[in-house]
Structure 1
Amino acid sequence: MSTVNTNTSQSILDQYQLKQKPSTTGDSALGKDSFLQLLVAQMENQNPLDPQDNTQFVAQLAQFSSLESMNNLNSTVESFMGSYQSSQALQASSLVGRSVIVETDKSLVDTSSSLTGNVMMPANGSNLTVKVYDDKGNLVKTLPMGDWSAGTVDFIWDGVNEQGEKVPSGNYKFVAEAEIDGTPTALSTFLPATVNSVTLAGGEMYLNLAGMGRLPLSSVLTIGQ
């Protein structure tokens, strides 16, 4: 006749833990093999006169399988994100020393050559103008652009003021405005800048631009030579 295990003072979990070797890493997570050993120990020590319902074992296995799948998915996603960030950093590092067009109203301008920028027209408009200010806020030049349809409009500043004199190189601000539906409307400008270095912060890539500081990679409109 089979003997019923009546030792109720010690749980199956306690019996299992006595067989384990001390952890050398401090990791107390229950692995798949350990879970199966615990499940077998639970089955071996159940009361044969009142056995545990098989559906309970199946439910335990299903819960563990679901948890293991989630852990594997998390590991896969983390690995994918690490690879993506490394790839993004490698691509961004190739921009160092190159010229990019970014959404900004300020630029470090070398007036020995012409500057080409862009204005974004959200809708058809008239009397488009681009005003150039120096770093002291003085108006240097007004560029009349006329009427334009919705889209990107190029403009060129040759580095001279209203008197036709060449101004010194430095930081300049560009303010674009047009009348849209009869209302004066401020417009976004996109200006060139040289990439000095790149920075990865908070999962996003930033470009450190000469004369502009740090801007997100997502603000880049075009990449030059």
Structure 2
Amino acid sequence: MSTAAISSTAAGSNAPAGATASTKNELNAQDRFLKMLVAQMQNQDPLNPLDNAQVTSQMAQINTVTGIEKLNGGINAMLLQLTQAQALQGASLVGRDVLVPGDTMRLNDKGEGRAGFDLASKADKVTVEVLDQSGAVLDRFELGALDAGRHYLGWKAEDADEAGDEVRFRITAKAGASAVAATTYARDTVGAVSTSRGSLELDLAGGGTVAYNQVKAVI
């Protein structure tokens, strides 16, 4: 069996000067495979040579590996584009208020704070408790009956200096004698955006950092 044609192909394995990184990797993989195949054919047992089925099987293996490399390259390119698109969207949020999971209200210099919450179902009585950092109740007020879904609230401290820069709040909702589940959200201003490990993060004016997909609403 002549191997001259195969040897010639293996020898001319250098990628063109303008080839992309993906193309070079593919050519390098094919080059290594062909060199191994040539060496195998040159050193095969003359009494038990490779048959066509064996050669075809090995060719199929290199094609499979090349296909997987192309697929991975395509997925990585799509992820990069997605991250870049998210970064552009995130940049438009700088200076905007957002709702993120939490139970705190950041107070301005007038002692005013705002937040939000979701009710799982309709409630005929909704109570808000405002607490200081130690857990002591600073204020308690009623919101009355509310439908299921998103709601917003505001609070102003009687003494801004005593309340500090941040307070916590707690929602208690009932429909008759049954409790209604409430999910609380902190309201904060987006100060900057950044990417970390391929995901977009928002730096909040209050000092925290949240993932882009944690934003529940833009206000």
Letter in 1 for 2:192: S
Structure 2 spans left out of the alignment, 5+ residues: 2-6, 14-24
> Which of 123, 130, 148 is residue 125 of structure 1 equivalent to?
123
Output aligned runs, 1:5-84, within 5 Å: 31-40=29-38, 42-43=40-41, 50-84=48-82
Equivalent-residue separation in structure 2 for 1:206 and 1:105 (angstroms): 20
Where does residue 165 of structure 2 map in the other structure? 170
Equivalent-residue separation in structure 2 for 1:171 and 1:76 (angstroms): 46
Equivalent-residue separation in structure 2 for 1:20 and 1:182 (angstroms): 82
Where does residue 177 of structure 2 map in the other structure? 182
Where does residue 107 of structure 2 map in the other structure? 109
Task: Work out which of the two has the higher radius of gyration on C-alpha atoms and give 1 or 2.
Answer: 1
- State the 1:53 CA deviation: 1.4
Where does residue 19 of structure 2 map in the other structure? none
Question: Residues 135-160 of structure 1: CA distance to partner in whole angstroms, max 9, x if unpaired?
Answer: 34342322301222321223232x14
- State the 1:48 CA deviation: 6.5
Is 1:209 matched with 2:204? yes
Q: How many equivalent pairs are there?
A: 199
Letter in 2 for 1:194: T
User: CA 1:127 to 1:173, structure 2 compared with 1: closer, same or farther past 3 Å?
Assistant: same
Where does residue 143 of structure 1 map in the other structure? 141
Equivalent-residue separation in structure 1 for 2:42 and 2:168 (angstroms): 80
Q: 2:99·2:217 contact (CA, 8 Å) conserved in 1?
A: yes
CA RMSD of the aligned region, Å? 3.6
Letter in 2 for 1:150: A
Is 1:195 matched with 2:193? no
Equivalent-residue separation in structure 1 for 2:38 and 2:176 (angstroms): 78
Q: TM-score, normalised by structure 2?
A: 0.72
Quote the sequence identity (%): 29
